[in-house]
Amino acid sequence: MGADQVRMTIWSKTVERQHTRVALALRHLAVGTLLLLQGPAIAQNPCEGRGACDALLINKGRAWDYQVGLYAAPRTLSPQAPQGQEQAVVEAMKRLFTASSMRAVVLLNGDNVIHSALKDGIPEDALFYGLSVGKTVTAIAAGQAICQKLISLDARVGEVLPEFATTDMGKASLKNLLTMASGTWEGLRDANVATPEQFREIWSGRLFIKDLMLMPRVHTAEKDSLGNPRAPGQVFSYRNSDPEMVALMVSQATGMPFTNWVEQSVLRTIPIQGPAVLRTDRNKDAFASGALQMHLHDWARLAAWVSTTYDDGSCLGNFLKEAAAPQLPARGPNGPFNQFGSYGYFTWVDHKMVPDSFYAHGVGGQIVAWNRKNKRTMVVFSNESPANDLAAIYRDWSKLP
């Protein structure tokens, strides 16, 4: 082979290697782009199957989420050893905790922490995502706006948000929304009104929550059995669009982002210790159907605060009593919710095993349980809810003096 042929062969192989590098680079770019597109959807629910895996249940939120800082003087919780009949309930909870996918639990009597536990490996500063427990927090924030006379239960969506005035959603009142009775589209099987593709649009910043609510499919009335548009207030149907609309209404009424209002009217009022996270879209609008992430003992502070406020005779206390009263017969979307016969304001009531109770409940087994007889509360975070066992424990806990 002559020198020219050798040079040509070397040059040819060099070009081939460069083409290979370019092809690999383009492939990596394509894969990276695909992961970028898929990533936000995975971040919405990284779990497979039912329940809430640790990646969803325990995380620090996302870079664009609303961050709540530390408070210098949080509500005081006092550890207290179980006394008398409390011991048997605590031992039952310990056995269930060990045998189940529960990740964290607190049993309280007022502001006294009688029992608290975290599964091995979960740090004290873990931020637990409440999922749909956040709906109850959204209702409380709406109650604070009502008590400050910034909005009323009778206010209609279209009156507060003119862009919805000509829609079926615009006919719904704040009370209709709080009871999951807007009459609009019932959503997907998981209660979401955004498809996976739309979630990718939301996480990328190309679509906002309000844009989603303005889509005809979301704000148009469902049809009844005769094919007529369903009027607001007639039928309970568990969907995520109603709490998102509450947040938009309250934000408009208060003149501030809903995240700021939740921090000011709920988290500071408790007050929690912090830090905490409120999940948002890229426009800083809260996912009011399930926004809040807090430390376990801040969830306990929330439980104790609601229990105390419920009986204090204040405007908010009276609102909480209304929120915890049966407003509409309820049919749950799945598993644990089938334990309840009625729905209040983003609150489950008429538990079949604990009839005097009212619950904030997330689909994977996130629970804050209260009862009307005393201040004994229960906070649970779990991958999947051992529903009947937990109900039996809370029934026994709430029966104690």
Give, rounded to a whole angstrom, the gap between the first and last alpha carbons of the chain: 100
Per-residue pLDDT, 143: 98
Residue with more model confidence, 295 or 385: 295
271 cis-preceded (ω within 30 degrees of 0):
yes
Q: Are 106 and 297 in contact (CB under 8 A)?
A: yes
Q: Give me the residue label for tokens 């003096």.
A: 401
| Mean pLDDT, residues 148-162 | 98
CATH topology of domain 55-399: Beta-lactamase (3.40.710)
**Nearest alpha carbon to residue 63 among 289, 298, 267, 284:** 284
Residue with more model confidence, 68 or 191: 68
Domain ranges of the chain: 1-42, 55-399
Residue 92: Cβ within 10 Å count: 15
Per-residue pLDDT, 376: 98
| pLDDT tens by residue, 323-345 | 999 999 997 555 567 899 999 99
Per-residue pLDDT, 357: 98
CA 293 to centroid of chain Cα atoms: 8
Backbone angles phi, psi at 303, to 5 degrees: -60, -45
